[in-house]
Amino acid sequence: MSMTDAYLIDSNALIAPYRNYYPFDLVPTFWEQMKYHVEAGNIAILDLVKAEIEKNDDDLGKWLKEINIKNLVQYKNQDIVNSYAEIIKYIEECGCYEINKALDQWNLPAADPWLIAAACVYGYTVVTFELPNNNLSPANQSRKIKIPDVCRPFGIQYCNLYEMMRELSIKLG
């Protein structure tokens, strides 16, 4: 798997399994396999996602700190910054969002727009539990920007955690 075939994981695709589905003490195989794929470079981690997860002094933060991340993506990379600017311009001009409220949620340290920008630059598939807003239009503006809604016009692939698990053959038993 080349770098462009890698998955770029949203923080919610790690936090939700940790808190709700796969606690470390009950499903250690999930976390062992995730670690393997992060260290192999199949799963990339954005530095902003890493910081968001590590700020919590919990088992997930400790787990991530101990991993040797092969594809740690720096959001300040100039190509990503340029892509970010294109994404923000699209959001401002598409007419589908209540701009001030929507963009307020995407200010740093929010990782979402940077995830999309990095995926655009490197060809990553974004892994997120966010669902698209299927009714989004200038007549039906949203206050919340959803990752899948911004991935689509930029031709960026996205999937949920379970789709990634199937592709990478991550099994729980």
Per-residue pLDDT tens digits for 142-162: 999 999 999 999 999 999 999
Strand, coil or helix: what is 93?
helix
- The label of the residue with tokens 């001009």 reads 93
Strand partners for 28: none
Percentage of residues in the chain having pLDDT higher than 70: 98
Strand, coil or helix: what is 10?
coil
The residues of the chain scoring below 50 in pLDDT are 1-3
The pLDDT of residue 5: 78
- 0.85 cut: is pTM over it? yes
Q: Where are the domains of the chain?
A: 3-74+160-168, 78-122+132-155
The pLDDT of residue 109: 80
Closest CA to 147 of 100, 110, 104, 93: 110
The pLDDT of residue 3: 45
Strand, coil or helix: what is 23?
coil
The pLDDT of residue 101: 87
The pLDDT of residue 114: 97
